[in-house]
Amino acid sequence: MTDLVIAHLYPYEMNIYGDTGNVIALRRRLEWRGLEARVDPVPAGTPYDFGGADLVFGGGGQDRSQLRVAEDLQQRAAALREAVAGGTVFLTICGTYQLFGRRFLTQEGREIPGIGVFAMETVGGRRRMIGNIIVATPWGDLVGFENHSGRTLLDPGQKSLGKVKKGYGNNETRREEGAVTDNCFGTYLHGSLLPKNPSFADELLRRALQHRHGQAVSLEPLDDRLEHLAARAAARRP
Amino acid sequence: VLRLVLATAVGRLAGRLSRLLGRGGSAVPGLVAEKLDPRTIERLSAPIRRGVIVVTGTNGKTTTTKMLVGILEGEGWRVVTNPTGSNLARGIATRLLEVASWRGRVDADVAVFEADEAAVRNLARRLQPKVIVVTNLARDQLDRYGELATTAAHAAEAVRHAGVAVLNADDPLVADLASGAPAVRFFGAAEGIRRSMPHDSGLYGPGEEGAPSALDLSLERAEPEGDGQTIELVSASGERAAVPLQVPGAYNGYNAAAAVLAAVQCGVPFARAVVALEEIRPAFGRGQVVEHRGRRIKLLLVKNPAGFNQAIRLLAALPSGATVLIAINDLDADGRDVSWLWDARVEDLAGSGHCFGTAGIRALDMALRLKYAGLEAWSETDFPAALRRFVDGTPAGETGYLVPTYTAMLRFLDLLLPGTSRREAWS
């Protein structure tokens, strides 16, 4: 029996930096609790009803894929905004995160429209922001690896995911990283993000299960010692 | 000429000084000579009688280069080649300086140079190779190489400068390079092998298949045997040969096909090229076997998801119960981002019955990757301790499989064969 439906946005187009690891982590952490997830791949050009999904994931991509995906995303903009408003859980990373803002201005001055879930804009820059990053969030410190040339600027009032303790985050100056609107999360953190940040992974799962069942759900605790040790080791790296 | 003579002399002197100071055989001579004469590479390589061959691509450069050198030396030719790792301009300049006379003359029949994917564009322009070989193109250390499209664009620029491009027909990104090359020869494999070797776009989904190209050389069979395998190669004109190789894995069958096809472009008869292949020993860390405390340690270097998948396929095919140590470092030469571990099909090892350990700076990341694939592993970040535990866990007389990233491999080889990594490492 399916306990949770995960929609994987653009799995064949947006898949650099191990973002698939997030889907592996979500699925496994459910399995270890005797729950089963169904993962629906949603490639560009394929119709999909987001009303049936509890958790939507989208990863980072190379520039060329991001352009292709941006057009497809426009076709789904209304459906995705409706799902966000309805409390569906979203995790968007890097390229998909950028396209969930209002727009992305490339280094060459080209404008790629986003779907405006997050009140923010991203501007392409020359220097890439690369390295291990630590972000303080309400769900503990998140550890990951960032690699992006886009600088994201949140509007006043747009909530960020957290404060940068090490690394760059959305841009070099503001020391803030990611964005949160309702149950929709955006971040630059690869790593993969969720395996080394199990508390955050479980937070997403709890919210998604609650969205499905309409009531608060508690998750059995797991032995996450290895996860925490790996996160601590990563946090010490440049 | 005077300038070249001066550059040669000073460059070589700098190399000797650097070695005296204990900095090993670095790329210092090439760096210094290129400062004095920025056309050092052009001038030193131009008189090489049968020209220059350049080998590039994401995986398999070193093995293909080694095979090609072996085949050409088998012809009795004097071959110049760069040691593994020294595949940037300064490394190639250094190698040319080492073999040049004091007047700056290189006495060689042919040169075979492995070129880094990011440097190949510039190197091909300067070397004007007679033949360029492109093994494959896959995503690799994105913090270092950037996007795959950029790497492909560099390769496309490079093939324009070659007389003939020897291309992998089964990798769509490589096959696409044909349109820009003055002449093209294709190598590839029979369908069964091709399907077991997904190219980059096939790593994550259904993949993009181009129209199949007519092959000039085809890998028809690749079956494991001993430490290596037996492959069967068939040329377009119908020549056929079964060849025992000392290196394992279908991917090395591709490398052998590339080397033979490139050698044929230089005038080596197919029949002699394949015979020479048998003698070629594995390159540094690429299927190399080291005896240690009564065990055989087989090294399988991994650098990116495509290469890791090849190692995984090889490990999954072994009889149950093998000992495997995966060692992941995150220094610049390895790629600082270890996210790629999550792109490899580690799940294919579930049910293998092997015993896993993890080592290196990011040992815990690898242990976590294995955990989420349903596999348990011990972890040890200290290299000597990890090696001890791995060897203790491998029964005497048996083979243990060591799967390291580049700098982790250097650390282990220093322990297994003291002094090796200094010779192989690059500055």
- The complex scores an ipTM of 0.97
- Residue A151 to residues A90, A106, A186, B120, Cα–Cα distance (Å): 21, 10, 14, 31
Quote the pLDDT of residue B37. Answer: 86
Contact B277, B245 (CB under 8 A): yes
Catalytic site includes residue A190: yes
Prediction pTM value: 0.90
Task: Give the SS3 label for residue B338.
Answer: coil
Q: What is the mean pLDDT of residues A78-92?
A: 97
C-beta atoms of B149 and A64 within 8 A: yes
Give per-residue pLDDT as tens, A24-43.
Answer: 999 999 999 999 999 999 99
Dump pLDDT digits (tens) for A120-155. Answer: 999 999 899 999 999 999 999 999 999 999 999 999
Residue B207 has pLDDT above 80, yes or no: no
With cut-offs at 50, 70 and 90, classify the pLDDT of residue B10. Answer: confident
Residues B29 and B119: their CA atoms lie apart, in Å, by 18
Q: pLDDT-based confidence at A206, cuts 50/70/90?
A: very high
**Nearest residue of B to residue A238, measured between CA atoms:** B336
The tokens for B97 are 């300086």
- Is a pLDDT exceeding 90 seen at residue B146? no
Percent above pLDDT 70 for chain A: 100
pLDDT at A202 over 90: yes
Tell me which chain A residues have a C-beta less than 8 angstroms from the C-beta of B364: 226, 229-230, 233
Q: What pLDDT, in 10s, does the model give residues B115-128?
A: 999 999 999 999 99
Q: What is the pLDDT of residue B253?
A: 97
Using the Cβ of B22 and the Cβ atoms of chain A, whether some distance falls under 8 Å is answered with: no
Section A176-183 average pLDDT: 98
Q: DSSP code of B365?
A: H
Q: Determine the residue among A10, A145, A223 to mutate to test chain B binding: the one whose Cβ has the most chain B Cβ atoms within 10 Å.
A: A145
Lowest mean pLDDT among B37-41, B66-70, B343-347: B37-41
User: Is the pLDDT at B425 greater than 50, yes or no?
Assistant: no
Half-sphere exposure of B319 (CA within 13 A, CB side): 3
User: Does the pLDDT of residue B427 top 50, yes or no?
Assistant: no
Contacts of B332 (CB under 8 A, 6+ apart): B144
Contacts of A229 in chain B (CB under 8 A): 364
- At residue B369, the pLDDT reads 98
Closest C-alpha to B48, from B80, B74, B76: B80
* The pLDDT value given to residue A194: 98
- In what side-by-side order are the strands of the sheet with A37-42? A37-42, A4-9, A55-58, A89-93, A184-187, A179-181
The whole-angstrom separation of Cα B287 and Cα B224 is 13
